[in-house]
Structure 1
Amino acid sequence: MSQPTVATGVGLRSERGPILGAVMLSTALIALDSTILATAVPSVVRSLGGFSQFPWLFSIYVLAQAVSVPIYGKLSDQIGRKPIMLVGVGLFVLGSIFCTFAWSMSSLIIFRAVQGLGAGAIGPMGMTIIGDIYTVAERAKVQGYVASVWGVASVVGPALGGVFTDFVNWRAIFVINIPLGIIAAVMLVRRFKEDVTITRHKIDFSGAITLTFGASLIILGLLEGGVLWHWVSLPGIAIFAIGFLLLAIFVVIERHAAEPVLPGWAFTRRIFAGVYIASMAVGVLTLGLSSYVPMFVQEVLGTGALVAGFALAALTLGWPVAASQAGRIYLRIGFRNTGLIGGAFALVGAASLLLLGSGSSPIQVAVSCVVIGLGLGLIASPTLVAAQSVVTWQQRGVVTGTNMFARSMGSAVGTAVFGAVANASLGGHGSINDTNADGSLAISPVLLSHAVHQVFIGALAVAVIMVLAILVIPRQIRTAD
């Protein structure tokens, strides 16, 4: 069976520049979306109602992204990166248009799922395209460019969200995606040329369906366990049982599928195992801390939303700053050593969170977040490039997609697990969703501080696992480039 091949002309510097620009613009769509909505949530709730449902605005997005990533990765190895990237941008823009017309919280949640399906293609395809058209050495500088997109978004996103919410309308935060997406799509169509031999392929629909529903049920159980039903109850047990059964069936299907969504070879080598586990840990820490750091700063330290946003921005800013330098570092000392330095930063930062209390200052929180962000920036990019470098074009989409799938699943599962830890700590003293008439949480700051402290302990445990996973990566890596 013939395999797709990338056009040799893509290697020309004059042609790669516009392609990189299109990738960065596409990345800006999902980077802005990760920060711009959070500041608009109160306004959305006042407009649409459904306060108890709003966490699903983020969870459904991450879930849709997670379950679609490996499917897109496999398809891109069959028909090329360009059509999958265009589908992703199209779905994201379409979902954004739907979101502007949402009439209820439930409808907005559904439309956020459409956005998530688009993001599931944009993220991994952008990284895969970069892996295709740049060498390992060149990716060091290029990864810095892409990281700068996230850095700018971490500052611009919350500001734009606040401006649109206060002076225009919260729906405008979705309108901005439309022109950005159209420009990115036009640039991809005009400048990105792929010479791909498309042959007939047998799509692994049964594997895709069982993976989607299995992962969805498990995350649903984690998100709603102890909220809509007791953990030890018929619904609580049944959801997990069916979810794990579907994933077991998925494993069996993949072993016999002609062209599996997640082929076995993508998990059998040491480097892949270490990279995937590390990526999942990165996802857990990123979204898990993003969910609880602002709450701690506002409700325990008694500050406003702006100060809480500053503390969170420290986490999101530390990442791109480190990622922009990671390429230079791993070219000198290797992927594994660079990741271990990042792991050390993450460990120190996570441990420092345990020193926080009701008497701490937001500056202390910000410093801890900066250190953690620096660590994650030195882990995420080098480990991904390491995995990409040991495979050929025909396998790079699967490797990148699986890596992004691991990170997305880590984000979804991490948020759910940390939520379960916090709820268990609060016990019978109320729920973190209960509010007073003025919108403040109906829980004492002392009790809430204890609950978030347990979350910080969990974050430290995840940081330890992340370092152990990086140690699994071989010291010497033979590249396929």
Structure 2
Amino acid sequence: MAADEGGASGSNSSPGASGEGTSNRRIVTVALMMAMAVAAMEQTVVSPAMPTIIARLKGVEIYALVFSAYLLASTITTPLYGKLADRHGRKRVLLFGLGLFGVGSMLSGLSRSMPELIAMRVVQGLGAGAVAPIVLTILGDLYTLEERARVQGLFSGVWGVSSIAGPALGGALTDQLSWRWVFFVSVPFGLIAMLILAVGVKETVAERESRPLDLAGAAWLTGGTAALLLAVIGGEGRPWELEVVLLGLAVGFLVLFVRQERRAADPVLPIDLLAQPALAASIAGSFIIGGLLIAIDTYVPLFVQGVRGGSATAAGRSIMPLFASWSVSVFIAAKLVPRWGFRRTAVVGSVLITGGSTGLVAGALVPEWSRPAFFLGMGVIGLGMGPTSLSYILGVQNAVAWDRRGAATGSVIFSRMIGGAVIVGLLGAVLGHALAWRLGTSSGVDIAAALRPETHGQLTAAQLSAVRDALGSTLRDIFLLISAMAVLGLACAARVAGGRAVDRPDAPASARGRGDAELLPAALET
């Protein structure tokens, strides 16, 4: 690569960039933010529309697949997109993903039956899997470490705000227009983001030694992940034998995947990262963070409604302190990471998460105090989430070369998504068994009625009291498990890369102060 005008000379082993300046880079960043927002909102905007969708399309017995199909498709493709971005360039893979997401969104809104909607949600999820890993990878290419800390912190805030706004927007669109608009609404924003990226980002992918795509590894990973997710997000009343079969398939496929990756010339996931304790700790910590977030989002509202008798609105508000404080903490964390390094920042954040989780336990132990205890606990957890999650993603990105950054970023995002599904699935099993044991058969209340606050009005006073006591004690145990997971997360944080965080020597020219939106990786080492 030729030397940059007014900049350092390029080399064969490091990416470089040139462009029109920071204004172009900011426009591209806005487009990336827009792409991240629509993907985040799509996870929550559908929920309020589901009763109307069921009334129109029928198929209530399979409605849960509308959610799980999307989650499954987006999760299994996340690491694959990260690898493809390293091989074929960030821009073209992200544009493909956004395009597929838009097509899936339009087709979902045009669906005429529940099976058709589920199939189109799979298409939508297959596109959504590209967004988070590649957006964060591009940010890693365009910004210095200090800049990236600020920008990725902003993107974490966008993700949180979009997730909160999703249910409100979905309800409004369903009431004022049609349930179909919960799918249509993301399409114009996705198209605008694609147009800006197509025009504003110039990318040249260097020639590299041709190595076959690891199709076998991709197949084993897809099969193992799909079997695992189907096992933990399955429906009620499913025979336990099927659960055992699915878990057995998951273990078998993932063992074959690891064997394949050890001998593959160009593996889908960089398995050797797990051999480095600091990087393995970041990936494991991301797994735990994903589980903590989804667990809190699932079980705190259940406590507010099912134990304290609060409304759905009150349940929704109960988790807002977490996302609000998270949005603030990411900006603080952006200044801490360059000064303190990845490990110290992650440890401080994990201490806050662990401390905040005790507020959940305290609220469950003394239900009368649950409102202030939850408010304080969730706020402290949010303050810890910013530094911890930011340290994990930046630490992994900074530890690998350009040609592995996409796969490394995809590994972290994939770990977080899997953690959310697996941990919530396990906690759900604990909740079901513990609640069944506490209620017994004498109460005359089945587990389904106990777990659905909307049916509590049909219970007698004695049954309702028994349900609330049993559910309160069981959720206390769940919060204790969440607190124990936070301690494990603290142990992971203590193992991430230490020292002062600095840019890699092979950082792109934009990371050396040229600030642009052109990605021009030089010839990559093979």
Please indicate, yes or no, whether the TM-score normalized by the shorter chain is above 0.5. yes
What is aligned with 1:170? 179
Partner SS, residue 282 of structure 1: helix
RMSD: 2.6
Distance change >3 Å, CA 315–CA 340, structure 1 → 2: same
Distance change >3 Å, CA 406–CA 435, structure 1 → 2: closer
Alpha-carbon contact 2:81-2:129 (below 8 Å) kept: yes
Alpha-carbon contact 1:63-1:408 (below 8 Å) kept: no
Residue 19 (1) aligns with residue 19 (2) = no
Equivalent residue letter for 1:336: R
Alpha-carbon contact 2:353-2:486 (below 8 Å) kept: yes
What is aligned with 1:210? 220
Q: CA deviation at 1:21?
A: 1.2
TM-score normalized with structure 2 length = 0.84
What is aligned with 1:59? 68
Moved more, 435-444 or 416-425: 435-444
Q: Distance in 1 between matches of 2:79 and 2:483?
A: 28
Q: CA deviation at 1:465?
A: 1.0
Residue 384 (1) aligns with residue 386 (2) = no
Q: Distance in 2 between matches of 1:215 and 1:45?
A: 28
Distance change >3 Å, CA 262–CA 408, structure 1 → 2: same
1:263 aligned to which of 260, 270, 275 = 270
Alpha-carbon contact 2:363-2:371 (below 8 Å) kept: no
What is aligned with 1:35? 44
Q: CA deviation at 1:162?
A: 2.3
Q: Distance in 1 between matches of 2:449 and 2:273?
A: 40
Distance change >3 Å, CA 49–CA 179, structure 1 → 2: same
What is aligned with 1:460? 483
Q: CA deviation at 1:416?
A: 1.0
Q: Distance in 1 between matches of 2:331 and 2:189?
A: 24
What is aligned with 2:295? 288
Q: Distance in 2 between matches of 1:108 and 1:451?
A: 35
Q: CA deviation at 1:182?
A: 0.5
Alpha-carbon contact 2:346-2:391 (below 8 Å) kept: yes
Distance change >3 Å, CA 112–CA 388, structure 1 → 2: same
Equivalent residue letter for 1:241: G
Q: Distance in 2 between matches of 1:3 and 1:49?
A: 59
- The higher radius of gyration belongs to 2
Q: CA deviation at 1:48?
A: 3.8
Alpha-carbon contact 2:362-2:370 (below 8 Å) kept: no
Q: Distance in 2 between matches of 1:367 and 1:115?
A: 37
Percent identity among equivalent residues? 33
Alpha-carbon contact 1:154-1:317 (below 8 Å) kept: no
Equivalent residue letter for 1:468: A
2:190 aligned to which of 170, 181, 184 = 181
Moved more, 47-56 or 418-427: 47-56
**For residues 14-70 of structure 1, what are the alpha-carbon distances to aligned partners after superposition, in whole Å with 9 as ceiling and x for unaligned?**
321121111101001112223323333443344444555444433333322221111
* Count of residue pairs brought into register by the alignment: 477
Distance change >3 Å, CA 450–CA 167, structure 1 → 2: farther
Moved more, 434-443 or 252-261: 434-443
Alpha-carbon contact 1:294-1:309 (below 8 Å) kept: yes
Moved more, 67-76 or 96-105: 96-105
Q: CA deviation at 1:197?
A: 2.2
Q: Distance in 2 between matches of 1:72 and 1:410?
A: 19
Gaps of 5+ in 2: 1-10, 508-526
Alpha-carbon contact 2:306-2:451 (below 8 Å) kept: no
1:70 aligned to which of 79, 84, 93 = 79
Q: Distance in 2 between matches of 1:280 and 1:192?
A: 32
1:9 aligned to which of 13, 18, 23 = 18
Q: CA deviation at 1:399?
A: 0.8
What is aligned with 1:451? 474
Q: Distance in 2 between matches of 1:474 and 1:31?
A: 29
Residue 89 (1) aligns with residue 98 (2) = yes
Q: CA deviation at 1:418?
A: 1.6
Residue 412 (1) aligns with residue 435 (2) = no
Alpha-carbon contact 2:427-2:478 (below 8 Å) kept: yes
2:448 aligned to which of 418, 429, 432 = 432
Residue 127 (1) aligns with residue 136 (2) = yes
Q: Distance in 2 between matches of 1:391 and 1:107?
A: 42
Equivalent residue letter for 1:297: V
Distance change >3 Å, CA 438–CA 349, structure 1 → 2: closer
**For residues 323-359 of structure 1, what are the alpha-carbon distances to aligned partners after superposition, in whole Å with 9 as ceiling and x for unaligned?**
1221101122221111111111111121111122443
Equivalent residue letter for 2:228: I
Residue 334 (1) aligns with residue 357 (2) = no
TM-score normalized with structure 1 length = 0.92
Moved more, 253-262 or 112-121: 112-121
**For residues 127-174 of structure 1, what are the alpha-carbon distances to aligned partners after superposition, in whole Å with 9 as ceiling and x for unaligned?**
000000111111122123323322432443232122123322222111
Distance change >3 Å, CA 433–CA 133, structure 1 → 2: farther
Gaps of 5+ in 1: none
Alpha-carbon contact 1:326-1:377 (below 8 Å) kept: yes
Q: Distance in 2 between matches of 1:151 and 1:405?
A: 18
Alpha-carbon contact 1:347-1:464 (below 8 Å) kept: yes
Distance change >3 Å, CA 368–CA 61, structure 1 → 2: farther
